[in-house]
Amino acid sequence: MSSATQTETERAVLRANATFYRAFSEGDVEAMNAVWSTRSSVACLHPGMPLLVGREAVLASWREILGGRPGIPIRCQAPTTQVFGETAIVYCYEGPENEAAHLVATNVFVREDGAWRIVHHHAGPLSIPVAFRGTSQLMN
């Protein structure tokens, strides 16, 4: 894969990741449903919680988290990605807008008919919040 193609692929993965966090922060259940894979088995690890497996259980958890709220004060910070063919991992930090991140996440995506869909989200707490300026620069 050429370097240019790789970069384009990485951008597409990061756009899918941004779509996931937009749905999350806007409390948009429909958009959240759309970003999760319909073809592959999916799984999710919310902070502190046991494993959820399968689209029904995973999407039910998101409906519960997002339901009835106008939005969630969460922002994806410093996302980076590694692409392995038709699968990609995104690493990023999570925290309220303009505040230090208190969570770190692993998101796994697969490419289905040219579109990157999430198959796994794992977020866990940071012992010490991490502050960023912008989206990629580590401040402390």
Q: Please give the residue ranges that form the binding site for a copy of itself (CB under 8 A).
A: 40-41, 43, 45, 47-51, 53, 80, 82, 84-87, 89, 91, 93, 104, 106, 108, 110, 119-120, 122-128, 130, 138
d(CA 23, CA 140): 29
Beta carbon of residue 59, minimum distance to a copy of itself (angstroms, whole number): 17
Beta carbon of residue 124, minimum distance to a copy of itself (angstroms, whole number): 3
d(CA 39, CA 50): 23
Beta carbon of residue 70, minimum distance to a copy of itself (angstroms, whole number): 26
Angstrom distances, CA of residue 16 to CA of 1, 50, 68, 104, 126: 20, 25, 24, 18, 24
Output 23 or 108, the one with its CB closest to a copy of itself: 108
Measured in whole angstroms, how far is the alpha carbon of residue 137 from the centre of its chain?
19
Output 29 or 89, the one with its CB closest to a copy of itself: 89
SS3 28: coil
Q: Which tokens go with 22? A: 């937009």
Beta carbon of residue 36, minimum distance to a copy of itself (angstroms, whole number): 14
